[in-house]
Amino acid sequence: MEKLICAVQNYEWGKRGAQSVISKLNFVANVEDNKPYAEEQARELHAKDPKNYPDSNHKPELAIAISDFQLLCGFRQCHQILSNVKAHKELLELISEDDLANLASEHTSESEKNKHGLQAIFSTVWKAPQAQIARVIQEIVTRLSKTENPAPVDKLILQLNDQYPGGDVGVLAPFFLNYFTLSPGESVFVGPNEPHAYLFGDCIECMACSDNTIRAGLTPKYKDVDTLLVNIDDVLWNTLHLASLSLLFTKLVVKQVVWQNLDPARFFWLFRPKHDSK
């Protein structure tokens, strides 16, 4: 075994000060209480915009939970998105009836309409004027804050709005993306171009050798919605047939004193000691 000497990044989404696991692991450094700590398609993106996409590598990821870990990953099934829109009528200010009708098509022969409906809805919402987004979010938050027993996704909307006030379109993401919690030791594989957001908790994140990130919400950094919409085209299409590209798995193989995790695409192989090994 070799000891790793790792760098520490200070991304805005990291936990602050001594609350961060990273700050504790980096024990030789002076921990600043107000500083966030975290470990944060590519040929064309790099060629067109090397400042925001600094390399030409793709970026599959494997996130392993070390505490209860909440995240958004992959598009919900169409019927779930429709249900969320119907339950939150404020969203109809952003979404046309035609797009909803296309999304509602359930027959296999009309799957192309599903695809275009989902693309159109996501594109329309994420490219809506900032003032309109802020107004819709405020209307939803005002109503939900008066609800006695909000659903889990509604609680999350309120939490995200507190964390990213002012009308960040990413606050609406839970209506469109799968929301789930990993238990310690569980992991999720995120394929290239798959929309996702790590929300609460701690994880170890393994990724390909790339620092490319297409951001579209829940961040104070540069947002590139147009590039996101171009690159998630195949993900939208596959989501309709596979329900979700997010593959959740736990400890799959036991080999003596280590657990071996294999992601389905064979991008990553993870080995870790068993707690009871000597």
Alpha helix ranges (H) inside 127-275: 130-144, 152-163, 225-231, 233-242
Q: Are 79 and 53 in contact (CB under 8 A)?
A: no
Find the distance separating the first CA and the last CA of the chain, reported in whole Å: 16
Q: Which of 143, 215, 266, 272 is catalytic?
A: 215
Q: Is 215 a catalytic residue?
A: yes
Distances (CA, A) of 188 to 71, 151, 203, 253, 276: 10, 24, 10, 16, 24
Cα separation, 85 vs 88, in Å, equals 5
Alpha helix ranges (H) inside 49-194: 78-87, 97-103, 111-126, 130-144, 152-163
Output the CA torsion 37→251→73→16 (10° steps).
-10
Amino acid letter, 210: S
Q: Identify the three-state secondary structure at position 39.
A: coil
Catalytic residues: 215
